[in-house]
Amino acid sequence: MRKRGQFTLFVIVGLLVVSVVMLGVYYKDEIFASQWEKQRAESLVVPEQAEEFRVAVDDCIDEVSLEALKILGLHGGYIEIPADSIAQSDLNPFSNSLEIIDGTDFETAYWFYIAANNVQKEQVPTIESMQTELGTYVSNNLARCIDEEIYTNYNATVQQINTDVEIQNEEVLFTVTYPITIAMDDFSFKFENFYISQDVPLGKMYGAASQIMDEENSNFFLEELSYDSLMLYEEVPLSWTEFDCDRDTWDVSEVEESLQEILVNNMFAIKLRGTDYEVNNDAEKKYFEWSALNGNFQDYNVNVYASQSWPFTMQVSPVKDGELKEDTINSGPLTGILSSLFCMTSYNFVYDIKYPVLLTMYDSNSNYRFQFAVQVVLDNNQPRVNELGLIDFGNAEETLCVDAQTSIDVYVSSEDYYGYLNAEEGVTVSLQCITSKCEIGTTDGNGDVFGYVPQCVNGVLIAEKDGYVTETEIVTTIEDVSESMVIDRLYNLSYEIMLVDDNGNVFAPTGDDTVFVTLTSEDYTTTVYYPSETDYVLLKAENYAVEGKVVSSSSYSIDFDPLEFVSCTNTLTRSVDDIFGLGEKNCEILEFQSADFDSTVSGGVDTIWSVDVSDLEGARKVTFYVASPGVPENAEELEEMMNYIDAGLGSREPELS
């Protein structure tokens, strides 16, 4: 009986174990669902009276987050491309971003470029920086999306928006903390968080782009292909010796034009192994296939573009009077005799070339595009030397800070009401060296902080304090350093935005208007909006450029004569062992003939405003004025409006009160 009872007990326990395992398998998706998915599911459960409001907010988050992702993808991983320390000009045609369509703001960041001062630069975004920019964009633009009427209907009160973003391989998760309380009759409900997922493979695309950039920095595939273009095409003279009494010459401008056309076509012929493409023949597959990716990216179509409308520089020697001429062999008695007897002529030309290339990745499943630009550089017929090393695309460990040997003494002050500089206590000072941020310490009552830092060339000294603008200075810490820094206080002021018609009458914007005003100084920028969930702005004493626009609801279309854009590429038809011709030309015609608008610019401001510490000390509020003479109803009126704004007509300085 005892053995039988033990057997029965074992059977029961065994059945329980099997049942638990089966339940675990059956419900594994629910059991192992991510915390984010659980929170999202919980947020969808709201009272029936609040459902319409929830859907409206979710729809806007979906719209604005997708908008942010598209902008970031087209800008090379940035919502706002970092400002170039050297302004773009005729002396700096490349800058730090590629203007894809001339005369527009459609631009993409260079992940590698050589600055105008001939210093190599890289500006590859990180996952963390992309997450931050996406979150900031959603937080700053969500209010403009939601219909003001729904706030009114639900008697909604809102608080500060904060958006957290998590970039995954195949999707991007947005968690929007947006406390909203709605109240109708005897019903009230408070929303805390909203959750939106976008099926965009940003993480995977970024990983692929990182591999491509790393491979280019290692093996210079684009530069090697560019050198081959010098060597293989007869339109571009490079180096050879011939026995011919005729002396050939080439016009420099014609050579440059031919070389640029060759490079444009050859870049477009590049295909990335492991992606979605078809090769036309074995020669093209062997020569133009780039093995830059590890892994399967068959869902992605990857293309490499160059354009004759983009910046291009070519310097070549020897040149005389705008022509490339031979370098006749006469280096010794024997070669001099041979040259005179047999008309021996040596052609040796040395090129310095720099031009941009755009790499784009497109995923047809999500209709998402990610792209970035790089500069291709040949120096004395050789690929650029990589002075930056391989770029670390992951989280860098703070290894440099351990080797802190150089002493540094920093004094920090700030300006008072009377314009005097006084010691500032409680300022955190650190040194950014490459990817490592090394904390030095916090200033004492005398404004001083002393510490040790690693040896660093062109490091960034950073001074930070709540309520003040972060100040930076470039320092080299090979030897002991003593630095003084001035930080500017930020004044928290309430604000309002008012419109001014062409008769000087001041009036408030309406629900049909969206207004923004941006204040830009040498080292500080801030923007205010209408409508906005916040009513304050942080200002420092500074000389500001004040620029803004009013966008109002409108409805009109513009019809124009069809515009055709012809895009042509050449398919190589001969073996790579031969000297390539330009091959068969394939052209595609793109046509545009109309555009519809549901909103239009109805005003703006463009002025200069100088404000001192003494002005800000006693102020509590700032009023921004934006000229708004009326809503254009056709293309001619829109052009007049833009001219009105550009001329600064009706612009007023902000007023403090």
- The secondary structure of 598-631 as a DSSP string is EEEEEEEEEEEEEE-HHHHHT--EEEEEEE----
Distance between CA atoms of residues 257 and 137, nearest Å: 41
Give mean pLDDT, residues 348-355. Answer: 88
SS3 100: coil
Bridge partners of 242, per DSSP, are 345
pLDDT greater than 80 at residue 138? yes
Please give the pLDDT value at position 199.
95
- Mean pLDDT of all residues in 133-148: 91
- Which band of pLDDT confidence, cut at 50, 70 and 90, is reported for residue 239? confident
Q: Which residue has the higher pLDDT, 543 or 283?
A: 543
Contact residues for 558 (Cβ-Cβ < 8 A; gap 6+): 594, 595, 597, 634, 635
Identify which has the larger pLDDT, 88 or 234. Answer: 234
pLDDT band of 638, cuts 50, 70, 90: confident
pLDDT mean across residues, the chain: 80
**25-61 per-residue burial string, b: 16 or more CB within 10 A, e: under 16:** eeeeeeeeeeebeeebeebeeeeeebeebbebbbebb
State the pLDDT confidence band at 22, using cuts at 50, 70 and 90.
very low
Residue 315 clears pLDDT 60, i.e. is over it: yes
pLDDT at 385 over 60: yes
Average pLDDT rounded to a whole number, residues 559-582: 43
Locate tokens 């890289």: which residue? 122
- The dihedrals phi and psi of 201, each to the nearest 5 degrees, come to -80, 50
Tokens 């730090």 belong to: 96
The larger pLDDT score, comparing residue 89 to residue 274, is at 274
Least confident piece of the model among 239-243, 324-328, 388-392, 647-651: 388-392
Q: What is the pLDDT of residue 497?
A: 92
Residue partners of 84: CB distance under 8 A and separation at least 6: 92, 95, 96, 97, 115
Residue 384 reports pLDDT greater than 70: yes
How many Cα neighbours within 13 Å face the side chain of 248? 19
- The stretch 149-160 carries a mean pLDDT of 89
CA dist list (Å): 139 to 232, 532, 631? 53, 11, 28
DSSP character at residue 199: -
The tokens for 67 are 């908008």
pLDDT of residue 514: 87
* Rounded Cα–Cα distance for residues 494 and 32 (Å): 47
**What is the predicted pLDDT for the residue at 90?**
66
Distance (Å, whole) CA 581 – CA 31? 62
The 8-class DSSP code of residue 400 comes to G
Q: Residue 67 above 90 pLDDT?
A: yes
Pick among 3.50.50.60, 2.60.40.10, 2.70.70.10, 3.20.20.70: CATH of 400-486:
2.60.40.10
Count of residues for the chain?
657
Element (H, E) at 586: strand 584-611
Q: Is the pLDDT of residue 419 over 60?
A: yes
The edge-to-edge listing of strands for the beta sheet with 319-320 is 249-251, 323-325, 319-320
pLDDT tier, 350 (very low <50, low <70, confident <90, very high otherwise): confident
Asked whether the predicted pLDDT for residue 259 surpasses 80, the reply is yes
| SS3 labels along 12-48 | HHHHHHHHHHHHHHHCHHHHCCCHHHHHHHHHCCCCH
- Residue where the block lists tokens 């409900």: 189
How much is the average pLDDT of 347-365? 90
β-pair partners for 422: 414
Cβ(400)–Cβ(434) below 8 Å: yes
Cβ atoms < 10 Å from Cβ of 217 = 18
Looking at residue 167, its pLDDT comes to: 94
Q: Which residue has the tokens 């040596």?
A: 346
610 Cβ contact partners less than 8 Å away, ≥ 6 residues apart: 542, 543, 544
Tally of CB atoms within 10 A around 636: 10
What whole-number percentage of the chain has pLDDT above 70? 78
So what's the pLDDT on residue 375? 94
- Residue 405, pLDDT score: 82
Tell whether the model's pLDDT for residue 201 goes beyond 90.
yes
In eight-state DSSP terms, residue 96 is: T
| Three-state secondary structure of 422-486 | EECCCCEEEEEECCEEEEEEECCCCCEEEEEECCCCCEEEEEECCCECCEEEEECCCCCEEEEEE
Bond from prior residue into 383 cis (ω within 30 degrees of 0): no
Which residues have a Cβ under 8 Å from the Cβ of 453 and sit 6 or more positions away? 401, 404, 406, 408, 431, 433, 438, 440, 459, 477, 481
502, 640 Cβ separation under 8 angstroms: no
Q: Give the residue from 652, 657, 592 showing the smallest Cα distance to 619.
A: 657
Q: Where are the domains of the chain?
A: 2-32, 47-78+125-199, 202-383, 400-486, 491-656
Backbone torsions φ then ψ of 349, nearest 5 degrees: -115, 140
One-letter amino acid of 292 = A
Write the DSSP assignment of 568-579 as a string of letters. Answer: EEEE--S-TTSP
Fill in the amino acid letter for 99.
Answer: E
Buried b (16+ CB within 10 A) or exposed e, 477-516: beeebeeebebbbbbebebebbbbeeeeeeeebeeebbbb
Please give the torsion angle defined by the CA atoms of residues 577, 581, 583 and 587, in that order, rounded to the nearest 10 degrees: 140
CA-to-CA dists, residue 535 to 190, 400, 421, angstroms: 22, 42, 31
Q: What is the pLDDT at residue 512?
A: 85
Among the listed residues 515, 519, 552, the one whose alpha carbon sits nearest the alpha carbon of residue 531: 515
Q: Any residues with CB less than 8 A from the CB of 288 and at least 6 apart, and which?
A: 225, 266, 269, 270, 271
Q: Percentage of residues in the chain with pLDDT exceeding 90?
A: 36
* DSSP secondary structure letter of residue 560: E
Which amino acid is located at 609 in the chain? W
- The predicted structure's pLDDT at residue 587: 56
**CA 566 → CA 256, 267, 582, 588, distances in Å?**
22, 18, 18, 6
Q: 590 has which bridge partners? A: 565
8 Å CB contact between 361 and 354: no
SS3 187: strand
* Mean pLDDT value across residues 45-71: 93
What is the 8-class DSSP label of residue 505? -
Structure tokens at 438: 């090394």
Which of 211-225, 439-453, 568-582, 630-644 is the least confident region? 568-582
Give residue 33's identity as a one-letter amino acid code: A
494-520 pLDDT, tens digit per residue, is 999 999 988 889 999 988 888 889 998
